[in-house]
Each structure stands twice: as C-alpha cells, then as structure tokens.
Amino acid sequence: MKKLLSSLFFFVALGAVVAQQKINIIPQPAEVRLGTGEFVITPATSIVVSGTDPEVKRVASMLNLELKRVAGFELKIVSAPSKNAIHFKLMADPSLGKEGYRLKVGYEDVEVSANQPAGLFYGLQSLLQLLPPQIESKTLVTNIKWNLPVVEIKDVPRFGWRGQMLDVSRHFFTKKEVMEMIDDMAKYKYNLMHFHLTDDQGWRIEIKSYPKLTTVGAWNVKKEGQFHAFSKPGPNEPRDYGGFYTQEDIKELVKYAKDRYVDILPEIDVPGHSMAAVASYPDLSCTPGTYVVNSGDGFMDWHAGGKFTARIDNTLCPANENVYTFLDKVFEEVAALFPFEYIHMGGDECAKNFWEKSQQIKELMAREKLKDMHEVQSYFVGRVSKIVGSKGKKMIGWDEILEGGLVKSAAVMSWRGTKGGIEAAKMGHEVVMTPNEFVYVDYMQGDALMEPHVYASLRLKKTYQFDPVPAGVDPKLIKGGQANIWTEQIYNMRHMRYMVWPRGFAIAEALWSPKANMNWNTFIPRVENHFQRFDAAGKKYAPSMYEPVVKVKKDPSGKFLVDFDVEVPGVNVHYSFDNSFPDNYYPSYAGKSLLVPVDATQLKVVSYKSDKAVGRTMVFPIAELKKRAK
C-alpha cells in the first residue's frame, strides 16, 4: 500500500479549493495529502484488526455500528491482512502522541493507525466524516455509494483538554440526553465533559450521606419564559420540576463517556450558587432562615461592571465547621464516582454581603487574621483544596478563586475573559481557557430580534478567533479550553444543539487544529457540509452565520441609513421596505448604505447563497432601527 500511496499522493494545502471539495473534516487535520480516485465500502469489504488489544477491536467495531444502521450491512472482522479492507492497527510513532493518528485511503484498502486506541478512535471519526453526509442518517439509506476519497492524513491535537461544559442544574437533562451530548462531542474530537452538577436551581447528583440534597434540592417549580424574570412561586405551586442522577446513573455515564475517550469533570459549585444545598440543609448557611430551591426568579441584584449583591443568602458559611464536614463527605462520594484527576469546586459569583453581616464571619476573620471578604473566600478555597486533595484529586475552580490569594496546588478555569488565566499562568498555575467573549455558547449568536434573549451576543466568526494561548504566557501552562453551555435559557435538547452548533465546530478546531491551519474562508464550506450531516441526522443547528449584522446610523440631515455586515463569503442580502417578503428577486445590498424611507414601518431582510435561501427572514420595525442609531 505504501508504494501505491507514494505514487498517488501529492501534497495539497488544506486552504486549497481542491482539498476543500472533498475533505470536509472538522476539526481540520494537521496534514493532508489528497490523491485522486476513491475507495468504496461494500458488503465485500472487511475490517482487519491487528494485534490482540481488545480496545482496537472495540473501536473497529464502531464502524460496523454506523454501517449497519445506515447502509444495512456489516463488515467481516478478520485478523489477517487482505485487500478491499479497512485496517486498524497500533504502531510506535512518537510524533503522534497519545491521541494522534494516521489515516491512509488508497484504491484497494484503508489504514487507520495510532499509538493508542484513542488515536484510532479519532482516526475513525475522520474516516466517517469522509463518507457522504447520509452516513449520519437515523434510517436505512439505499442507492448511494459509500465512497472515501483517496487521501493521506496525519493528525495530532494541539491541546489535551478539549471540553464542553454542560449545566444540568438550571434545567435538567436526562441520562439519555447527556449520552447524546457525549456522542456529539466525540464526533468532533472533544475529550472532556465538564458536568456542572449543582447550583441554586438544583442539586443533580445523589449523595448517600445527605439524602435531602436530592429529595429536596433536586426539585423546583416549573417556569417558562425569561429566566431571572420569572414570577416568584407561590407556596402551593408543586415542586416537581427537575431531577437528579443516581450513583448508578453516574457510573453508567462515566463508562459511556470513557468508551468514547471522553473524561467527565464533576463540578460541585461552592461557596456561592449553593441555594439548592442550603434549601436541603439550612444549617450550612451563615444566615439562619427557611430556604427553597430557586426556580429562576431573580434573587440577585446585578450592577455595572459585573458587581452584584444577593437578596437571599445563597452561600455556604466559611466560618461553620459543619460545612467542611459536609464537603468532606460530598467530595468523598464524588471522587469515588469520577475517575478523572480533577474535581471542580466552582468558586464563582459568590455574593458576600450576607457574610459581611455575620458574627461568625467576623470571629473567623479575627481568628485567622483575614483582612477582607476576598481573603475569607480564599480561606474557604484553601480548606476545600485540602479536602479535594485528601481524596486523591486535584482541584480546579473558576478564576474568582484567585481573589484573596490562590492556593498552590489549584488549577484555574478563566471565564471572565483571559485576564484571570494570564494571572494564574504567570504565577505558575495550570490554566483552562474558557473566556466568555469567545466560548460562551449560551450567548445569542445572531441579531437580538431573532434569538432567544440573553444578555450578550457571540457570533460564529468571533468564536472562530478563539486562541487559548494569550500572548506572553507559557503555552505549557495552558491545558486547553472548552465551550460553556449554561442552560438558564435552554430548556430542551433540540434547543441546546441549536445553541452549541456551529459554534462548537469553531471551538473544536481552535482546540485541536494547528493555529497556522485556522482559516475562516475554508472553515465555512466544511461547516456547510456538516449542516448537511446534521440534516441527515435530524439534529438542530443555528443558521445565524448567514444572517447579516445590521448597522444603523443617522446622517447630519437626520436621515437614517442601514448597512449590512455579511460574514459568510458568497452570501447576498435581499431586502424590502414595502412590507412584502423579499426573496432573491428583490434588491440586493451592494455595500452602499440604504436610506430608510420616511414613511416605512418595517425593513425585511433575507440571505441567499447560490440562489438558495440560507438565512431566516428578519423583520425590523423602523422604530427599532431608529433606537439602534442612538
């Protein structure tokens, strides 16, 4: 095969159009040599598994699972080399590391090779992405050729930490739905799921030492509408909305993820965001009282610059020794369930206004010589770090754990931009980059008139600019990064997918692909190919990338002018001011500002590409445009 490949292959840079016509892999591989011709998978094709490692056979068998569902046939698995075969084998290549792979597609056979089974798994994901989009169908597909382009790929990830965080506290997702998310992640070579298991709206993991955490803490009152603006539940409204994972559920999820080379990082968010815990065990608070699990009604006052105060104390009390006994038992059970080396302690957005009033806190400050509330939290973080360490785990927390001094062994997850990560790295701490301006995929991704309202926006093009390594930072201390999926405004799985994809493609590429290979213009055709794959699978995604950024200004004479910023190459924006619905026969924006007619009441906009509607019809009341001009 090597001799054949050497005569067939010629190097093609990934940015070249010819490569993009056939190689639509996300994330973009490190090296690609594109040949001519194809390999066709038929029922006569076999799978060759070399060696005796059972993991190799398990990975190879995953190809059969896909083919059986869609093509209606399975391939025979053999151990002897043969032609018309797909070979899976382990090798010794130091340049590939633990997760890298080589994929060679020739006329007569295909070879997937790697140092470790994880590499074979990622090679398989790339192989599947070379097949027609119909491979993602949930039902049998007939009258199609399952062809792979002749190509040679060498691929190695840029970062070892490639994550997505799922918040299951604000809205609960079932075990099956979490498994679906893991499947989606694995297809795009993510290898870590950060599991945000506790918050003010629900405690989602069974802790046998404290049963009320789930009998009480996992349930609130169902509300629909705008989170944080919900009405306060009445005393007689049923608290039956939510759920939790039993310890057996967790074990099943951990195994399911591990089979797909995904680790799960558990997060127990303390000392703030702890209303569900305090509602279950009120003695954990510094403020005596009766508490209920929050249902999404507002109980925090937000001020300029990200400052906030709590109307109800939602914190654990750093001055209460019972809190550390509680956390010791909680982290003991969590550590036993999750084999991953880290446990996340949260540490973010801790309102301290109730601590300031607490006599217990004042006594703690005098005893421990703590100057302010930041040092009180740092004291708490230090105690938690020792507890986590005693369970054989490393501790990681949001960048607020830097405030008041950071304990030596802690890793930092930088979410408030990159500042906290830079600070932590310069102190010698390991960092995971999750800056909200690039990777918070719960943010609106298109015009605010079109998207479910969230307080900030993040378009796909901005997400694609994410680089986990800031200038001036030792890259060895940046473990990687992740997308964060906060679910205050996400109620179900279909909408979650809509929010994650395609921005999840961009983050996958930033975390896997060489920085030099990142190219917006070659990224978009691959995204469009994967839209076809999502269509075949019946999965929802956002078309927002096709929709223009609408800019409004007022000229010196008082007239209003509109411009459209189009981010995707080849998209034409058609518009109307006469209340009719535009299509591709209507006027097209050509880069010159549009004058808003004096008596117009609406601007309607739609995007086309190659005479096909690709964006949704956007309807702007003229009053809204004028408001934006201000």
The confidence score (pLDDT) of residue 50 equals: 87
Tally of domains within the chain: 3
Residues 145 and 219 in one domain: no
Phi, psi (rounded to 5 degrees) for 471: -60, 140
CATH at 22: 3.30.379.10
Residues 110 and 52 in one domain: yes
End-to-end CA distance of the chain: 66
The confidence score (pLDDT) of residue 630 equals: 78
Task: Yes or no: say if 157 and 121 are a contact pair by the CB < 8 Å rule.
Answer: no
Residues 265 and 230 in one domain: yes
Residue 309 and residue 317: Cα distance in Å, rounded? 16
The confidence score (pLDDT) of residue 343 equals: 98
Phi, psi (rounded to 5 degrees) for 407: -65, 150
Other Cβ atoms less than 10 A from the Cβ of 508: the count is: 22
Residue 101 and residue 123: Cα distance in Å, rounded? 6
Q: What is the largest CA-CA distance in the chain?
A: 81
In the chain, the amino acid numbered 597 is P
Residue 401 and residue 423: Cα distance in Å, rounded? 12
CATH at 565: 2.60.40
Question: Is the model's pLDDT at 15 over the cut of 60?
Answer: no
321 by Cβ neighbours in 10 Å (0-12 / 13-18 / 19+) ranks as exposed
Residue 456 pLDDT grade (very low, low, confident, very high; cuts 50, 70, 90): very high
The pLDDT tens digits of the residues spanning 298-330 come to 999 988 877 889 999 999 999 999 999 999 999
Calculate mean pLDDT across residues 362-366. 98
3-class state of residue 428 by DSSP: coil
Residue 377's Cβ-side half-sphere holds a number of Cα atoms within 13 Å equal to 28
The confidence score (pLDDT) of residue 144 equals: 95
Question: Is the model's pLDDT at 600 over the cut of 80?
Answer: yes
Residue 96 pLDDT grade (very low, low, confident, very high; cuts 50, 70, 90): very high
Ordered alpha helix ranges (H), 71-134: 117-130
The confidence score (pLDDT) of residue 19 equals: 45
532 by Cβ neighbours in 10 Å (0-12 / 13-18 / 19+) ranks as middle
List the domain range (segments joined by +) for residue 572: 547-629
Residues facing residue 475 across a β-bridge: none
Residues 75 and 203 in one domain: no
**The last residue of a domain, from among 98, 128, 155:** 155
CATH at 503: 3.20.20.80
Token readout for 327 is 């956390």
Phi, psi (rounded to 5 degrees) for 426: -70, -20
Residues 92 and 225 in one domain: no
Alpha-carbon dihedral sign for residues 500, 346, 200, 330: positive
The confidence score (pLDDT) of residue 296 equals: 96
The confidence score (pLDDT) of residue 81 equals: 86
Closest CA to 630 of 573, 556, 554, 577: 554
Residues 91 and 184 in one domain: no
Residues 132 and 189 in one domain: no
Residues 10 and 108 in one domain: yes
Q: Quick check: is 539 in a domain?
A: no
The confidence score (pLDDT) of residue 21 equals: 52
Q: Are strands 560-565 and 594-595 parallel, antiparallel or unpaired?
A: antiparallel
Task: Yes or no: say if 510 and 157 are a contact pair by the CB < 8 Å rule.
Answer: no
Residue 19 and residue 32: Cα distance in Å, rounded? 8
In this prediction, what percent of the chain has a pLDDT beyond 70? 97
Residue 7 pLDDT grade (very low, low, confident, very high; cuts 50, 70, 90): very low
The confidence score (pLDDT) of residue 542 equals: 98
Task: Yes or no: say if 527 and 504 are a contact pair by the CB < 8 Å rule.
Answer: no
Total-model pTM: 0.95
Phi, psi (rounded to 5 degrees) for 511: -90, -25
Residues annotated as part of the active site: 199, 273, 349
Question: Is the model's pLDDT at 129 over the cut of 90?
Answer: yes
The pLDDT tens digits of the residues spanning 56-88 come to 999 999 999 999 999 999 999 999 888 999 999
User: What is the helix, strand, coil percentage profile of the chain, to 5?
Assistant: 35, 25, 45
Token readout for 257 is 């993820």
Which CA distances in Å does 330 have to 128, 201, 314, 327, 564? 41, 18, 18, 5, 53
Q: Quick check: is 329 in a domain?
A: yes
Q: In this structure, what DSSP letter does residue 40 have?
A: E
Q: Quick check: is 422 in a domain?
A: yes
**The last residue of a domain, from among 110, 128, 155:** 155
Residues 336 and 476 in one domain: yes
SS3 per residue for 209-263: CCCHHHHCCCEECCCCCCCEECCCCCCCCCCCEECCECHHHHHHHHHHHHCCCCE
Residue that the structure tokens 């796909």 belong to: 460
Closest CA to 408 of 446, 381, 440: 381
- 66 Cβ contact list (under 8 Å, min separation 6): 128, 135
Token readout for 515 is 């920085």
Q: Quick check: is 531 in a domain?
A: no
Least confident of 8-12, 314-318, 482-486, 518-522: 8-12
Mean of per-residue pLDDT scores for the chain: 95
Question: Is the model's pLDDT at 17 over the cut of 60?
Answer: no
Residue 94's Cβ-side half-sphere holds a number of Cα atoms within 13 Å equal to 0
Calculate mean pLDDT across residues 31-45. 97
**Polymer length in residues for the chain:** 630
Residue 461 and residue 519: Cα distance in Å, rounded? 11
Q: Quick check: is 282 in a domain?
A: yes
Residues 302 and 403 in one domain: yes
Q: Quick check: is 532 in a domain?
A: no
Question: Is the model's pLDDT at 11 over the cut of 70?
Answer: no
Calculate mean pLDDT across residues 434-447. 97
Residue 99 and residue 120: Cα distance in Å, rounded? 8
Other Cβ atoms less than 10 A from the Cβ of 87: the count is: 19
Residue 429 pLDDT grade (very low, low, confident, very high; cuts 50, 70, 90): very high
Residue 131 and residue 148: Cα distance in Å, rounded? 6
Residue that the structure tokens 């060759």 belong to: 48
Residue 9 pLDDT grade (very low, low, confident, very high; cuts 50, 70, 90): very low
Helices H, strands E: what count in the chain? 18, 29
Q: Quick check: is 537 in a domain?
A: no
H/E run at residue 90: strand 85-90
The confidence score (pLDDT) of residue 82 equals: 86
Give the long-range contacts of residues 229-234, CB within 8 A, separation 24 or more. 229/297, 229/298, 230/295, 230/296, 230/297, 230/298, 231/297, 232/297, 233/292, 233/295, 233/297
Residues 42 and 120 in one domain: yes
Residues 202 and 341 in one domain: yes
Q: Quick check: is 530 in a domain?
A: no
